Amino acid sequence: MKSVRDILYGSSIKEVIGTTAIEINELVFDSRAVKSNDLFIAIKGAAVDGHDFIDKAIANGATVIVCEDKPAVINKKINYIIVDDAHKTLSVLANNFYDRPSKKLKLIGITGTNGKTTTTTLLYNLFMKMGIPVGLISTVVNRINDVAIPTERTTPDAVSLNKLLSDMVEAGCEYCFMEVSSHAIHQNRTGSLCFAGGAFTNITHEHLDYHKTFKEYIEVKKKFFDGLPKEAFAITNADDKNGEVMLQNTKASKSSYGLRNVADYKAKVLENNFAGLVLSINNTELYTQLIGDFNAYNILLVYAIADKLIGEPLEIMRVISELKSVEGRFEYYKSKTGVIGIVDYAHTPDALENVLKTIKNIRTGNETVFSLVGCGGDRDRTKRPTMAAIGCEFSDKLILTSDNPRTEDPEKIIEEMMTGVGGEHFKKTISITNRKEAIKTACSMAEPGDIILIAGKGHETYQEINGVKHDFDDLEILKELLIKFEK
């Protein structure tokens, strides 16, 4: 049990009705999960307002209610705490409830549009291989040392996040590598955490369904770096035009990494093929099994962060050379007939262009590149024509198909994508709404040596249609169909 007075420390309170000299069992923001003697905090979400469920929370046993709007009817048996910002308050309460776990290990946050999952996962794998106790918080999975914990979102809610960090501390983790999404920053899920370091990968047009403008999206990312303490480090991508913007007001020590511009950590691509990359990092040669220029940035950032945390540059490079591709990120499969299949999470214009440019730089020119591209429903619609245009530019055959349509009509999404297909590309572009049929079509058309890229879903093992998640694994289906067409 925890004292309400103690866990409120550092929060901004407008009014208290009742008392804070009371202990509660749990901190809850979903009324359905409330049990006897819990504290319920009413959060105003995009679709649901927690204030509408205060009575239900009380009926389920809540003894303390934290909210922004004072209820019209006050229950004299209940203690009410009125606050200005429930999101911010939840972050403070969760941090205090779990005894400020982020201060008991070194928490490193990675933010940016693309590369977060690969970078955090590679760092986790690197530290595990070096025998260092470590945690991971990512889009694909959360991990405490060698224990995997399923995840539903890039950055967990504030309560789950602090509990996860607390469990890492209890398990002896010295470090934690964490993806920090723009949604999490904006909703103050990470606001009370103490970061030992932060890194910026890149920023492109994404999540404009949520942030409304690109300027707001940039400012939200920048807010993460503005909040870093002076004891922390902040490292930015010198080759991204907004990289320097991120560090303008940070109190943390600043450094940079890049392939093209002057940077503290500099790399050069010496070789780039389907066998992997050979890089020169600060004049030391490094071989890696990962493929593509975009992975050169990821590897360089991994090296830079590891160097800042533990030093031992040569040992870090040796272990990096043993690391394999991250699940759903340029995963590579070659059939017996020589058809090359690639599955990648690329679901933004920049990510898709990076993957297709990588294929272009590696291919001989004698093979056909088939690209399967879709766009998620209930998400930023402005990128749909752009995604199709990029697919046309860098592919020999483009198949527009369904991604996760969610509550939208997948054929309408494809129609919006088609507006980005120029007249000169009509002949090489087809639309097949059924994703499995689209993959089957590409596999049936591919000749030995051809390349099939399936973009958009990567590590996901489902397809979300009208609120229902159906089993769907791009890589498994690709393998199954390529094997079928070998016969």
Which CATH number do you get for residue 398?
A: 3.90.190.20
119 part of a folded domain: yes
- Of 320, 339, 359, the domain-final residue: 320
- Of 259, 285, 320, the domain-final residue: 320
Residues 266 and 194 grouped into a single domain:
yes
Residues 253 and 304 grouped into a single domain:
yes
113 part of a folded domain: yes
CB 212 within 8 A of CB 143: no
- Cα 450 to chain centroid distance, Å, stands at 31
Q: Domain range for residue 59?
A: 2-97
Domains in the chain, number: 3
CA-based torsion, 186, 190, 193, 194: positive or negative: negative
226 part of a folded domain: yes
pLDDT at 139: 87
The CATH number of residue 175's host domain is 3.40.1190.10
92 part of a folded domain: yes
- Of 320, 352, 384, the domain-final residue: 320
pLDDT digit string (tens) for 53-107?
Answer: 999 999 999 999 999 999 999 999 999 999 999 999 999 999 999 999 999 999 9
Residues 179 and 264 grouped into a single domain:
yes
- Buried-exposed string 354-373: b where 16+ CB fall within 10 A, e elsewhere: bbbbbbeeebeeebbbbbbb
On average, the pLDDT of the chain sits at 94
Residues 314 and 354 grouped into a single domain:
no
165 part of a folded domain: yes
- Please compute the mean of the pLDDT values over residues 152-173 and round it to a whole number: 91
Residues 212 and 305 grouped into a single domain:
yes
Residue 155 has pLDDT above 80, yes or no: no
Q: In this predicted structure, which of 212-226, 446-460, 470-484 has the lowest mean pLDDT?
A: 212-226
pLDDT digit string (tens) for 293-343?
Answer: 899 999 999 999 999 999 999 999 999 999 998 888 899 899 999 999 999
pLDDT at 150: 85
Which pair of tokens denotes residue 104? 């008991």
Strand partners, 342: 332, 453
Residues 88 and 107 grouped into a single domain:
no
Residues 124 and 239 grouped into a single domain:
yes
β-strands 64-67, 79-83: how paired? parallel
Give 127's pLDDT tier (boundaries 50, 70, 90): very high
Give 38's pLDDT tier (boundaries 50, 70, 90): very high
Residues 379 and 449 grouped into a single domain:
yes
Which pair of tokens denotes residue 292? 């593509």
pLDDT at 487: 61
Residue 208 has pLDDT above 60, yes or no: no
pLDDT digit string (tens) for 378-403?
Answer: 988 999 999 999 999 999 999 999 99
Which CA distances in Å does 6 have to 1, 92, 260?
11, 11, 50
325 part of a folded domain: no
Give 207's pLDDT tier (boundaries 50, 70, 90): very low
pLDDT digit string (tens) for 209-240?
Answer: 554 687 888 888 899 999 999 999 999 999 99
Residues 210 and 238 grouped into a single domain:
yes
275 part of a folded domain: yes
326 part of a folded domain: no
Residue 158 has pLDDT above 70, yes or no: yes
DSSP 403: S
pLDDT digit string (tens) for 174-203?
Answer: 999 999 988 889 888 898 999 999 999 998
% of the chain beyond a pLDDT of 90: 85
pLDDT at 81: 98
Residues 93 and 191 grouped into a single domain:
no
pLDDT digit string (tens) for 455-469?
Answer: 999 989 999 999 899
pLDDT at 206: 54
Indicate the burial class of 130 (C-beta count within 10 angstroms; 0-12, 13-18, 19 or more).
middle
Residue 142 has pLDDT above 70, yes or no: yes
Is residue 237 within a helix (H) or strand (E), and if so which, with residue range?
Answer: strand 233-237
Residues 81 and 228 grouped into a single domain:
no
Give 37's pLDDT tier (boundaries 50, 70, 90): very high
